[in-house]
Amino acid sequence: MNKNDMEYIKKESNFSKVIRTEILFTPLLIIFPIIVGIFLIYDWIDNGLASPYFGSLIIGIIIIIGNIAFDIPFIKSLKELSRKNNK
């Protein structure tokens, strides 16, 4: 990289574009894994609750819990960062 490239990267306008992009992708990052987790749990229920195969139930629960565990801090930090950027 040359000096002009580094100056372009350091501009704050690019920083705000990155934040805007993250805000736009946030619903996709949150909703899609929850839908997949719910689908896996529904698949387990649809195949029978007494089924000896609990794989889809366990994977669905892991996806939902993991998504919630990582998305709440992500959303909090994104709100804080966008609040700092607007000041």
- Tens of pLDDT along 25-70? 888 888 999 999 999 999 888 887 777 778 888 999 999 999 999 8
Question: Considering the domain boundaries, does residue 2 fall inside one?
Answer: no
The residue segments making up the domain with residue 64 are 25-86
Q: What is the pLDDT of residue 5?
A: 58
CB of 16 within 8 A of CB of 35?
A: no
Backbone angles phi and psi of 56, in degrees to 5? -70, -35
pLDDT at 33: 92
The pTM for the full model equals 0.69
In a domain, 13, yes or no: no
Surface-to-core class of residue 87, CB atoms within 10 Å of its CB (0-12 exposed, 13-18 middle, 19+ buried): exposed
Whether the predicted pLDDT of 1 surpasses 60: no
Query: Could you give the residue ranges of the DSSP H alpha helices within 11-54?
Result: 12-47
Instruction: Look at residue 51 and give its three-state secondary structure.
Output: coil
Mean pLDDT within 8-19: 63
pLDDT at 12 over 80: no
Residue 78 tokens read as 């994104």
Inside any domain, residue 66:
yes
**Any domain includes 50:** yes
Instruction: Give the model's pLDDT for residue 7.
Output: 60
Residue 19 lies in a domain: no
Residue 56 lies in a domain: yes
Count helices and strands in the chain by DSSP H and E runs: 3, 0
Split into its structural domains, the chain has a count of 1
Residue 57 counted as domain residue: yes
